[in-house]
Amino acid sequence: MPQFTAPLRDMRFVLHEVFDAPSLWARLPALAETVDADTADAILEEAGRVTAQLIAPLSRSGDEQGALWQAGKVSTPGGFRQAYATYTEGGWVGLSGNPQYGGMGMPKMLSVQFEEMLYAADSSFALYSALTSGACLAIEAHASEALKNTWLPPLYEGRWAGTMCLTEPHAGTDLGIIRTKAEPQADGSYAISGTKIFITGGEQDLTENIVHLVLARLVDAPAGPKGISLFLVPKIRLAADGSLGAANAVSCGSIEHKMGIKASATCVMNFDGAEGYLIGEPNQGLAAMFTMMNYERLSIGIQGIGCAETSYQNAVAYARERLQSRAPGGAQCADKAADPIIVHPDVRRMLLGMRAMNEGGRAFASYVGQQLDLAKYAENADERSSAAALVALLTPVAKAFFTDNGLEACVAGQQVFGGHGYIREWGQEQLVRDVRIAQIYEGTNGIQALDLLGRKVVGNRGVALRQFTAEIRRFAGQPVAPYAHELAEAVERLESISDWLIVQAAGNPHAVGAASVEYLQLLGYTAYAWLWARMAQVAGSRRSEDEAFYSAKLATAEFFFRRLLPRTLALEAGIRAGSTVLYEMTPEQF
């Protein structure tokens, strides 16, 4: 059974030492009163306790039992209800929510650490509240004050849960062709009718009510993505006094049988003239939903890091204990029948690869969290908009790069176990199954890459990208920056390819899609290089304070630069091959 221990020391390293988050918080009025270093540490500590002790022990039994559907009702696995009650009592659902509606108002930079722990403990459990947080954001950003006052407090409190209802059987990536319809009613509400699939937590037994955010078309809406509106559709309608009233015409037709996240109910939801309330303006639903999507995309990215962290911890523990063969240079434990497999270079290569990508990811998630906090709380409008531009640029990278690396790390962690990694007992195979969905949902990683290269880079002719690379160049330009040469080379490569792609895209509609996935990875490795150089700088300056901890950071940085960053060479060559090689065959020739 997998063990998870919250990596608190590593998280404090990133938050306090690399990014000096407490100083930032102190200068942002909305956060200055709310959080400081001690508060943050106390929250992390408690989060570590809750996730490792309350939630992680449910992961395997949750996978084995799965969510069950019977006659329209969904039961979560044994222990989930009690754990969810304890969890919501702790206020975790509203950790970074708006205090005006009952949230705790904590910075995103802190909550990304918490989200990592939550996914590390159990992805299925995490999803039930992850969507609630996202739904709250969309409601807060776009709904009327009346809707906010009614629906946000019980959501932040965790008594009710949120969902996002986008996909239909014929419409996944392409939301422009959805068919669910909304008919205006005399009382100002709308009657929502249609079928949605792949609805995470569409039905469950954890909360008293469920608040569905549903994309639908008004009867007179224009065709395509500009005719979609967003509605709040509760499972149970509210009586005049705000208490739970009659059931709405919303039902769960079945749940999916999936590769993993089996304890998370993935529902087919039928809306049969259900009562719903318009959020924001008519036909502006996609934009409103994207407030939620962008939040979820970072969160789902972090699922990749969380699963990978648990896989890493278990692989290290196994590699230290499993005795098999002798070290290449001669026996290390001559008193035992064999040496622990952590002596072998290839086992170390796998472990260091996981470690370097997980810690790089954690730093990147924290950086995006920092920019989210700045975009929300900075006093200066320029600072807010500059941070928002970085968030827009980096969110698809976080979602796709974290989860691609998450799968790679979980597969590596399984491989360290040999045959024992393939059987249920050790939990490594569950992590592979659970993490795999994160590359698919919330917009496939291919779609993230199109968003990045098409909209965020080519779309603004590289302005946001230059803003980001300028920050890296500033770091690399310091007289004492570690890995300055490698960083400069990596940034040069990224910029030069970006420029080339902007030119290509002007004359070739396939140029973006042909390069996008490799481009996203190239940007990801370059960003991690910058973050690893920053971490190495801090570790180098503090090494004498804690030799074991900081020298491990330096060793991992070195591994990243020597063994992983060179992957950009292949990515560059793949991108420069262009799109022609993709279009030499007709669909029939495949």
DSSP H helices in 437-483 = 445-450, 463-476
Binding residue count for its own copies, defined by CB under 8 A: 104
- The single residue among 303, 445, 469, 498 that binds its own copies, judged by CB under 8 A, is 445
Q: Give the integer Cα–Cα distance in Å for 120 and 136.
A: 23
Question: With binding defined as CB under 8 A, does residue 573 bind its own copies?
Answer: yes
Q: What is the length of the chain?
A: 590
Question: With binding defined as CB under 8 A, does residue 424 bind its own copies?
Answer: yes
Q: What is the 3-state secondary structure (H, E, C) of 486-540?
A: HHHHHHHHHHHHHHHHHHHHHHCCCHHHHHHHHHHHHHHHHHHHHHHHHHHHHHH
442: annotated active-site residue:
yes
Q: Give the integer Cα–Cα distance in Å for 530 and 539.
A: 14
Q: Give the integer Cα–Cα distance in Å for 35 and 39.
A: 6
User: Site residues for its own copies, window 162-191 (CB under 8 A)?
Assistant: 167, 170-174, 176-177
Question: With binding defined as CB under 8 A, does residue 446 bind its own copies?
Answer: yes
- The single residue among 10, 309, 429, 451 that binds its own copies, judged by CB under 8 A, is 429
Question: With binding defined as CB under 8 A, does residue 587 bind its own copies?
Answer: yes
Q: Give the integer Cα–Cα distance in Å for 569 and 576.
A: 11
User: Site residues for its own copies, window 313-332 (CB under 8 A)?
Assistant: 316, 319-320, 323-325, 327-330
Question: With binding defined as CB under 8 A, does residue 143 bind its own copies?
Answer: no
Q: How far is the CB of 512 from its own copies (least distance, A)?
A: 7
Q: Which of 115, 140, 442, 572 is catalytic?
A: 442
Measured CA to CA in angstroms, residue 291 lies from 284, 295, 344, 445 at distances of 12, 7, 47, 18
Q: Which residues of 495-532 are buried (b: 16+ CB within 10 A; e: fewer)?
A: bebbebbbebbeeeeebbbbbbbbbbbbbbbbbbbbbb
* Region binding its own copies by CB under 8 A among candidate stretches 3-11, 209-217, 350-358, 366-374: 350-358
Pick 72 or 566: Cβ nearer its own copies: 566
Question: With binding defined as CB under 8 A, does residue 590 bind its own copies?
Answer: yes
Residues 6+ apart with CB under 8 A from 450: 512, 513, 516
Torsion of CA 53, 428, 267, 292, to 10 degrees: 70
Question: With binding defined as CB under 8 A, does residue 347 bind its own copies?
Answer: yes
Question: With binding defined as CB under 8 A, does residue 352 bind its own copies?
Answer: yes
Pick 147 or 338: Cβ nearer its own copies: 338
Question: With binding defined as CB under 8 A, does residue 507 bind its own copies?
Answer: no
Question: With binding defined as CB under 8 A, does residue 130 bind its own copies?
Answer: no
* Region binding its own copies by CB under 8 A among candidate stretches 50-58, 295-303, 480-488, 580-588: 580-588
Measured CA to CA in angstroms, residue 266 lies from 173, 206, 261, 277 at distances of 17, 15, 9, 24
User: Site residues for its own copies, window 250-289 (CB under 8 A)?
Assistant: 256-260, 266
Question: With binding defined as CB under 8 A, does residue 49 bind its own copies?
Answer: no
Question: With binding defined as CB under 8 A, does residue 226 bind its own copies?
Answer: no
User: Site residues for its own copies, window 512-571 (CB under 8 A)?
Assistant: 512-514, 516-517, 548, 551-552, 554-556, 558-559, 562-564, 566-571
What angle is formed at CA 173 by the lines to CA 134 and CA 184, rounded to 5 degrees? 65
Pick 479 or 509: Cβ nearer its own copies: 509
Choose among 406, 164, 462, 178: nearest CA to 294. Answer: 164
- The single residue among 145, 382, 419, 544 that binds its own copies, judged by CB under 8 A, is 419
